Amino acid sequence: MIKIALAQINPIVGDLSGNMKKIVHYIKRAQQSEACFVAFPELALCGYPPEDLLYKEHFVKDNMRALYKIAREIKEITAVIGFVDMDKKKNLYNAAAIISHGKIKEVYHKHKLPNYGVFDEKRYFVEGKQHKIFYMGNVPFGVTICEDIWHDKGPYWQEVREGAKIIINISSSPYDIDKLQDRERIVKKRARETKTPICYLNLVGGQDELVFDGSSFVVDEKGKITARAKEFEEDLLIVEFPLRKKKSAFVSLSPLARVYQALVLGARDYVRKNGFKKVVIGLSGGIDSALVAAIAVDAIGKENVVGVSMPSRFSSSETQTDAKQLAQNLGISFKEISIETIFKAYLETFSKEFKDCPLDITEENIQARIRGNILMALSNKFGWLVLTTGNKSEVAVGYCTLYGDMSGGFAVIKDVPKTKVYELAKYYNNKESRAIIPSDIFKRAPSAELRMNQKDQDSLPCYDVLDGLLADYVEKHASYATMSRSQNKDVVKKVIKLVDKSEYKRRQSPPGIKISSLAFGKDWRLPITNQYKEF
């Protein structure tokens, strides 16, 4: 019987010293658990994805020097550690080092380099070619890296044919709503194909717009899951071979809970890893800012969240009351700063230029930009990070103001459709077993409150319809012809036009957490200057 440890860790991209210390710490924990083998995720040493840091040769060399320092700490255990390798021709490889007795014994280079969605690995790395068998004691095992296991008859297949009795797959697989079931399906299939147990080890943590959920697991040769690591948390999963399925205390999260935890982890790591202590949020009394505030409290603590209400002549007493009540329920600091005096100054300043012009979107955007400037002033003065509150539905169709409500450092719900915002807000209240987000916020028709009696649906289709169209057009790349078969043609045309012409806004928006199969950002690269017409 052998004991294997899977170290599901949360590294920081570029923090070679900190990541090295974390890896050594988990090696010692694995040894204390009497494991003879410990594995770490893909590129764990440098963090994933390192992106254009890889063009800095000194960074790559520093990562290799850190690996040698770790090797000297490894005495009575075998370790597999993800790092960046460089050959004599200065080709770079996404690599795994196999270390024991104080030395790097072997190195495996990733064969299959993903180059789709958020992945750009062919931009940096060269594909590996060799298959190797490694040993923990007398047990032969194979190593693969993330994408290697997603391809039929990939490297895992050859390793088993050459005698591997266990396959170790180290990954950095970002979360999206369907990803966990996709991973499990693929790994189970590979185990059944090869009749070989597979240890699937994933990274955990937030990195810019990506969130890695951990959720590592082990399957036996029949494709049955025998052990699981925690979701969205660091964990050291200890597994004994031959595998025996034990009764586990593991409780799988619901799909909605996973989305919520992804948002919490993504927000927490963006704030902390970038050196911020507190965040500030504009509280409108609406559902979006309420959800962002709740996520922020769960991410970094109520003492580190500041809510700011910025009423105008168009703000209802109900939304102002709800903003204040929300802050009280969450236990966060609350400020009220009216924009009326500043708005009047703008109107007076432009009174000559705008003479005889009716009030329109210009005056609406001025209000949004005043609020953005207030939040940014607080950010500059006190070092708080501004969290924006725009959802995916608004960002998609440009129902947001550049340099206004889009101003900020991080867009927590940028990839969350409006309908999902309501679901998550209800989930939050249920989780807390009380109406922390006031019930009136759920009942009130969404409004930007930038003119009298304004409602979102004055300008947009109802969100149930809009979100369905956006899922088709943005995430599935569906055509107008396909979409218009089941939806009103004029509505479909309007939505497509809004999405296409709003790209210039999205390019200037802060990064936000990816939860869908296709998020605005790295996933989506629509040209700003674009004259393609479908109709």
Cα(390)–Cα(399) distance, integer angstroms:
9
418 catalytically annotated? no
Asked which of 406, 436, 456 is the last residue of a domain, the reply is 456
Domain containing 339 — which CATH number?
3.40.50.620
User: 314 and 202 in one domain?
Assistant: no
The answer, yes or no, to whether residue 524 has pLDDT greater than 70, is: yes
Q: Residue 242: what pLDDT?
A: 81
Are both 267 and 239 inside the same structural domain? no
Asked if residue 179 and residue 52 are part of one domain, the reply reads yes
- Specify whether 371 is located in the same domain as 324: yes
Residue 245's pLDDT band, with cuts at 50, 70 and 90, is low
Nearest alpha carbon to residue 66 among 22, 31, 111 = 22
Q: What is the pLDDT of residue 246?
A: 63
Query: Is 126 within a domain?
Result: yes
Q: Does residue 8 belong to any structural domain of this protein?
A: yes
* Rounded mean pLDDT, 412-416: 98
Please give the share of the chain, as a percent, with pLDDT higher than 70.
Answer: 99
- Find the mean pLDDT for residues 228-256: 86
The tokens describing 111, both together, are: 């064969």
Residue-wise pLDDT for 145-167, tens only, equals: 999 999 999 999 999 999 999 99
User: In this structure, are 65 and 209 located in the same domain?
Assistant: yes
Q: 198 φ, ψ to 5°?
A: -130, 130
Q: Is residue 115 part of a domain?
A: yes
Q: Are residues 157 and 280 in the same domain?
A: no
The verdict on 356 and 219 lying in the same domain is no
Per-residue pLDDT at 452: 87
3-class DSSP assignment, residue 521: strand
Distance CA 326, CA 256 (A): 22
**Active-site choice (146, 199, 392, 522):** 146
Residue 506 lies in a domain: no
Name the active-site residue from 36, 46, 110, 230: 110
Cis peptide before 417 (omega within 30 of 0): no
Domain assignment of residue 434, yes or no: yes
- Domain presence at residue 481: no
Q: What gap in Å lies between CA 493 and CA 285, rounded to an integer?
A: 32
Choosing from 436, 456, 476, the residue where a domain stops is 456
Q: Are residues 344 and 402 in the same domain?
A: yes
Q: State the average pLDDT for the chain.
A: 95
Domain shared by 309 and 411, yes or no: yes
Based on the domain organization, do 309 and 442 belong to the same domain?
A: yes
- The tally of domains found in the chain comes to 2
- Provide the domain limits for residue 393: 258-456
Domain's final residue, options 202, 222, 244: 244
Per-residue pLDDT tens over the stretch 259-288: 999 999 999 999 999 999 999 999 999 999
Confidence of residue 247 (pLDDT cuts 50, 70, 90): low
Residues 22-76: tens digit of each pLDDT: 999 999 999 999 999 999 999 999 999 999 999 999 999 999 999 999 999 898 8
Query: Which residue bears the tokens 């490694």?
Result: 134
Q: For residue 454, what pLDDT band results from cuts at 50, 70 and 90?
A: confident
Q: Can you tell me whether residue 177 is helix, strand or coil? A: coil
Taking only the tens place, the pLDDT of each residue in 162-219 is: 999 999 999 999 999 999 999 999 999 999 999 999 999 999 999 999 999 999 999 9
- Report the CATH number at residue 200: 3.60.110.10
Amino acid 456: pLDDT: 86
The catalytically annotated residue of 42, 209, 231, 363 is 42
Same domain, residue pair 235 and 306? no
249, pLDDT greater than 70: no
Our answer to whether residue 42 is catalytic in this structure is yes
Confidence of residue 533 (pLDDT cuts 50, 70, 90): confident
Across 394-417, average pLDDT: 96
Domain-embedded: residue 484: no
Q: Are 236 and 274 part of one and the same domain?
A: no
* Domain contains 430: yes
